[in-house]
């Protein structure tokens, strides 16, 4: 079965600081036309920093759309042309103060493929060295260290709700089981 769609026309209807919204007219595989609304996003990075004692550095911050403080792994958006590995080292340092001596690329994650082209690059870091936290000026976060097992329990009981965070926790858990 043919599943490709062909873009016939694309119109930018919103051009924001972070996000852009395009409305595309497309040809469906059966020849009919339809509309796709696509949120354009620069992409991002996320890391699970595992300490020697089995705890993980997490951040908590208010996520405005939900009006809720959310527990997340350190993460951030890519700057134009930025290498994802450079970005994740920057984000880990900014949000937690840590640098890492060991890195593992854990792959790519599509957080919501139905309406955005956002791609998140996932990493696992060990061999952590403490430093000073230096978040962005508009970033208000709390940092904490939580045992990896507790984070797994929170994924399973639904109290940890951030998709990139629980995807990476599960990937790292499996990686450690096979390591």
Collect all residues with Cβ–Cβ distance below 8 Å to 56 and sequence separation of at least 6.
Answer: 48, 49, 50, 73, 145, 146, 147, 148, 151, 169
Instruction: Please name the residue ranges forming H helices in the chain.
Output: 84-96, 148-157, 163-178
Please give the distance of CA 62 from its chain centroid, rounded to a whole number: 16
Asked about 5 being catalytic, the answer comes back as no
Residue 47 near residue 123, CB atoms below 8 Å = yes
Distance of alpha carbon 156 from alpha carbon 69, whole angstroms: 19
The catalytically annotated residue of 68, 137, 139, 142 is 137
SS3 content of the chain, % helix, strand, coil (to 5): 20, 45, 35
Catalytic site residues?
A: 137
């Amino acid at each position: 079965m043919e599943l490709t769609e062909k873009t016939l026309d694309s119109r930018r209807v919103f051009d924001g600081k972070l996000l852009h919204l395009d409305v595309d007219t497309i040809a469906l595989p059966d020849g009919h036309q339809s509309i796709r609304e696509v949120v354009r996003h620069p992409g991002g990075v996320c890391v699970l920093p595992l300490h020697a004692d089995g705890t993980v550095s997490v951040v908590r911050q208010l996520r405005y759309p939900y009006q809720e403080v959310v527990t997340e792994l350190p993460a951030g958006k890519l700057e134009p042309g930025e290498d994802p590995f450079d970005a994740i080292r920057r984000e880990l340092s900014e949000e937690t103060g840590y640098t890492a001596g060991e890195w593992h690329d854990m792959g790519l994650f599509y957080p919501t493929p139905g309406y955005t082209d956002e791609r998140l690059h996932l990493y696992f870091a060990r061999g952590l060295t403490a430093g000073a936290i230096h978040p962005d000026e508009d970033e208000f976060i709390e940092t904490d260290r939580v045992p990896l097992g507790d984070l797994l329990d929170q994924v399973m009981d639904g109290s940890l709700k951030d998709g990139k965070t629980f995807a990476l926790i599960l990937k790292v858990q499996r990686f450690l089981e096979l390591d």
